Amino acid sequence: MNEIKIPALECKRCNHNWKPDSPFLPKVCPKCNSSKWDKERGLFNKLREKKEKEEYERAGDLSELDYDLRKREKDEE
């Protein structure tokens, strides 16, 4: 029996990599449950995230790691 090789998939929202169980594309990312796992975030969102990050760094309240953790928590809500 010939095996079908299924490539690993990557969520473009949370950067999670996984190998699907079936040959069909999944509806959601298994980690973040985003239905837009295969879509890049829009330019507006990228600019907003960059601005937020710069504000945090200017305030000196958060390191880059803290910012990323807060961002993930916010995305999970």
Crossing angle for the helix pair 64-76 and 43-59, nearest 10 degrees? 130
pLDDT higher than 90, residue 72: no
- Condensed to tens digits (0 to 9), the pLDDT of residues 8-65 reads 999 988 889 999 888 888 999 999 999 999 988 777 777 777 887 777 777 665 555 5
Q: How many helices (H) and strands (E) does the chain have?
A: 2, 2
Element (H, E) at 17: strand 17-18
The total number of residues shown for the chain amounts to 77
